[in-house]
């Protein structure tokens, strides 16, 4: 069963110092290295607030906002 998950954050969650290494956890949902951030969120910087987008191998598509 496919699911649409809404991610609104455009930057990672940073685990604070005190761990072995600083760690960035993906919050945009696009990282290919989940749960870790791989920088893919940079592609969301020009999204319009309030709009809903779907990402796949070919890029980004804006879809009607039904939330």
pLDDT of residue 30: 93
pLDDT digits (tens, 9 = 90+) for 18-62: 767 778 999 999 999 999 999 999 999 999 988 899 988 888 999
Measured over the CA atoms of residue 65, residue 39, residue 55 and residue 61, the dihedral's sign is positive
Q: Tokens 């949902």: give the residue.
A: 29
Identify the CA nearest to 7 among candidates 53, 58, 61.
53
Q: Is residue 17 pLDDT above 80, yes or no?
A: no
Cβ atoms within 10 Å of 56's Cβ, excluding its own: 7
Report the predicted TM-score, pTM, of the whole model to 2 decimal places: 0.74
Q: Tokens 């920088």: give the residue.
A: 39
Q: Select, from the ranges 1-10, 12-21, 41-50, the one with the highest average predicted confidence (pLDDT).
A: 41-50
Q: Is residue 64 pLDDT above 80, yes or no?
A: yes
Kindly list the domain boundaries of the chain, sorted by start residue: 13-63
């Amino acid at each position: 069963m496919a699911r649409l998950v809404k991610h609104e954050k455009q930057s990672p969650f940073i685990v604070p110092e005190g761990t072995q290494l600083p760690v960035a956890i993906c919050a945009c949902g696009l990282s290919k290295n989940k749960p870790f951030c791989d920088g893919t969120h940079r592609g969301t910087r020009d999204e319009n607030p309030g709009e809903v987008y779907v990402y796949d191998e070919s890029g980004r598509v804006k879809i009607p906002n039904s939330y």
